[in-house]
Amino acid sequence: MLAEHDVRDATERAAARTGSLEAADIRAGVALARGKDHPVMPAVITMGEVGSWQALLAMSAGTLAWGLLTRDRALAETGGRMLAAGTLASLVKTSLKRTLHRTRPNVLMDTGRYARGPFGPNDGPWQSFPSGHAALSVAVARAVARARPGLSGPAYATAAGVVAVQLVRGAHFPADVAAGALIGLAAEAATDRLVSARLPQRAEQAP
């Protein structure tokens, strides 16, 4: 990480090249990530990986599979909703990451570099926008809350925790996680419409 005054100078140089909203986002992202190199952060980051696409899609598929094996239709439907919402959110966020590039806060803080624009390198440090952890966590949490309202509190709290970790570790600016959360909500809403359209058909076909 650069020295404190160098981080401050790099942040202000980056902010000066942008509009007021983006400048505020840059400053907020750097401020939230001040403690990214604290000794406790590796443990915090590990906990936040519950919101990775690998973990969430595996959890969703496992819930669906267990529901099918135990013939628990409600559990299988919950797992199916989680998997569908998470998969759609993942596809959307991946498409955007490959279309738009934005360097992460930790890149700005460690190297002094900030850049954004269309069709940048398909490389992690350049893929701050949008937050995939936020997109998938919110999509899956919303799917759980819709299928199992009694679990909405823990589901939303977990998603909020995952989002917070992305900010304090310097992986994303606030706008990145906000965009990811919107993608997650939209993905879940779209898959819910598909599921809801099929449920009446199943009921009509049932003996």
- The CATH number of whichever domain residue 121 belongs to comes to 1.20.144
Residue pLDDT tens, the chain, 207 long:
788 988 999 999 999 999 999 999 999 999 999 999 999 999 999 999 988 889 999 999 999 999 999 999 999 999 999 999 999 999 999 999 999 999 999 999 999 999 999 987 888 899 999 999 999 999 999 999 999 999 999 999 999 999 999 999 999 999 999 999 999 999 999 999 988 777 655 544 444
- Nearest Cα to 171, choosing from 98, 113, 103, 122? 103
Pairing of strands 100-102, 116-118: antiparallel
The one-letter amino acid at 102? R
Q: Which two tokens stand for residue 118?
A: 């269309």
Contact (CB, 8 A) for 48 and 137: no
User: Which residues is 13 bridged to in the sheet?
Assistant: none
Which residues form the domain of 12? 4-205
Nearest Cα neighbor of 128 from 77, 93, 155, 162 is 93
pTM: 0.90
Total count of domains within the chain: 1
C-alpha 119/C-alpha 40 separation (Å) is: 35
